[in-house]
Structure 1
Amino acid sequence: MADPKDSAKASYWYPVAQRVQAYSKDLYNYIQGLKKDILTKAGGDINDDSKTFKEDNLDIATRMMVEEKKGQELLKKLTEYKNNVLSVDTAIAKQFAANLPINLEKPKGVSKAAKTWEGAYFHMVPTVAALTILSKFQNDVKVTENNIIQECHNKVGEVKVRYDRFAAIVGQNSSYLMPGQDLEITAGVGAFSTASLPTINIGGANVTVGPEGTALQKITAGGIGPHSVPVRITYTDQDGKPQVVEKTVEYTVGQSNASIALDKMNVLYIGVPNPLSVAASGGGDDKISVAIVGGGGSLSKVGNGKYIANVGAVTDDCKISVTVDGKLAGQSVFRVRTIPEAQAYVGGHPSGDNISAGEFKAQAGVGAGIKNFPFQLEYQVVSYTFTCDTDDDIISVPGSGAAFAGAVRTAIDRNVSAGRMVTIDNIKVKGPDGHINTAPSLVYYIK
């Protein structure tokens, strides 16, 4: 540098730029470590893009970033980074304090239940979304670094300050989008000269380059699946030679992730209230809608993420779908079945038991129910036939209702004694769904 003034400027601003690079590298690598931990816990490998992982898992990011407080730590480091890069010089602070891309506020439009910064970003979000959020923070760091270093170069003037690397920079706001969301591509050149701005082509169209040397292009995400956008940057390097860099921005369009879980069974039962829980990323509870189609179903909301499903027809194709802000977030298919038929019993004894005459006579009647069933169901015995052998014959007496009453009670008291056999058949049982079924017969051996 022939001009001593230019040399003096460079000797001041070059170390400033180096400090910003160091701050940026430290934070970028820290966030990369968080991504590695999340991906590893999900069964993936940050060094192997072909390895599949649990993309829709809602617990990993929640546990690590919220419950284990890694999100609090991230917010602290982002805050420190912002303060550090603004403190490198008062002129830098004055120019960038209001417009750095590092945003420390809670994102808008999240559930009111997310009271903390880390909860707003990472509570009940799928693994793939958490990785995308962290990638966005990394991109914000890179853009911040590029903008401040470029300003350091501008402070020197149009002198040839030679950096270790002279590279094209391409960033994106996300690599995983929902249909209709905007993909933002930022492209530019580090350490460019304002006298020779780069030419930037994104997706086949030239994009206006701003005074900071970067171009921003918004593209609306299309159909579900992987997509790519070509980026071509043409610039003049510090030796005056034209250079062309071509990069490809890749992103995936997917559906919002939602979990739909029946609280008791994996089957919807006719005639009983079926509780279910719904959780979805991408919006608060007020933005989530749940619908049911098939099986004569209807839904009623009983709390945040809690619903009751009532169904009326047997089917293998009852769909429950979740939408967030009007966009499908998830859908599950359930079977609809009638509740199992009840088994009859006397005094809790199953058919085939040996019962003493005294114990049998002490029973009030015939009961019915289902063992080991998650729903508390009421069954009503409508009628039955009581049969017992006597000294020289067999008597059969019809019973109405569940009780041993009237003629049945008389027959029991007179004829039930040791060595005899009692049969109760034609047992009609009414379930909570109103259907009447015939329960299997009961046989007891009196001792």
Structure 2
Amino acid sequence: MAGGKLSARQKMINLMYLVFIAMLAMQMGKKVLSAFGRMNETFEETVTSTTQANENAIKQLQALAQEQPEKYTPILNAASALHQKSTEFNNYLASLKDEMLAKSEDKKNYEAMSSSNYVDEMFFKDGKETAKGKEFVNKVTSYREDVLKLLDPKKDADLIKKVKKWFDTSPDKHGKKGKREEPWLASRFEGFPLISSVSNISKMQTDVAATEKTYMDSSISGQRKSDVSMTNYDAMVVFDKNAYYPGEKLSGKIILGKNDPTIKAKEVIINGNKVKEDQIKAGQVILSGSAGNVGEHELKGKFIFLEDGKPVEIPIVGGKYSVIPKPNEAIISADKMNVVYRGVANPLSISVPGVPDNKVKPSAPGLKQISAGKYVMNPPKAREVVIRVTAKLPNGQTVTSSKKFRVKDIPSPTGTIRGQDGYQKMSKSSLVKSTVGAVLKDFVFDLDLYVSEFKVKVPGKPTITCSGKKMSSQATRAINKAKRGDAIIIFDIKAKLKGNSSYRLKKTSQVTVEITS
């Protein structure tokens, strides 16, 4: 067929080949358009069924939130927010398809939807995106970002990847090295047959529906998986009774009980009485009331929950307990260990179990009551102090008890310069402006100290005494004459307790400062 002059017969054969190829191309083009149409129908059927499933999931969550609001209301709120965003975007896409197909007389004649003119005019003009095209891209981008804000980076990691991929509007890259970029909208909609563009929109609708369904399924199944997880169970010891005599056989059992703070009973009845609403908390009931007289007692009743709109009763078992006689020995404890410190108001709690505070009478040198059961002690000079307690029991009997405490002095203060102790480095200009202080490091009480006097020793200069906590003018002059590397010692720091200046503290440690400049 190439080279030389062709005969009339050969020309006719060539023409027949061209006509055949053209007819074949036309036939293949129609088949491709029909394939796009059938694909679009499949997409639309998927959107319809998935959207209905999502509506059913929302209704299911609404019912669960009514039965167990603490557990399912947060899930319902998040799912509803996603459902609203998805519905709005899906409706926009549906209106866009309707607009594309507005001039098509037969919406099922896919072979007639070969032209790209309508979509090209809708989205593009003079090589640029129209306002309609920009709106479409912005809608896709906004939906993607809105959904990503609603998803949890940990729980929804897989869905986040899919959303970023499905609704990615970044430019497409072409060529072997991917250096040639084409805008997302042009790459997918410019120059394509109408039915191809319609199918593209339908595919995006399936992605919207799939996003919502994946989130719904994950949220509901995730919560149910959490409900049955063994991490939600506690091992609880249940004795046959709650009081035993010495040498008596211990009996009971260890059971697994579910711990779910999101479950709240609709109603609780104990010993025939309805429990008040404010005593029914998440996952538990707060017991409050008299224990009763000495002897064996039992709590009986039931929890009432709503499940599928119907009441479900759970009986209360194992509610036996014992009320035992009150002890007759005083309990005395020092809030700051078993030592009291001289020069400090030491807090003490003194009580006798089962005896009102007004029937408890403690006595000791320096002991003073500040409120019911609460006392402070300013111990004497002795090395020990004994607190004696007399209590009158409900039966009229009087019991006594006592406890001995050691009396210790406040430990030696630690000298500081600019709030730092030990060996410090600073410039002369900083040192002369610094404040000398004293602290009680690691002491059980937070006591405030103040410095009334201290001494400064500069190498080659006589010792200088300063009043208060700041350097005197004489000390400042001496420090300014010091050389770099000189060690200036601040010692004989006179520290006193604020509010108790008469108490003589032990010797305060010195501070050494090396001059840097």
Pairwise same-fold verdict (TM > 0.5): no
The TM-score with structure 2 as length reference comes to 0.37
**Larger % of helix: which?**
2
Larger radius of gyration: 2
**Larger % of strand: which?**
1
The TM-score with structure 1 as length reference comes to 0.43
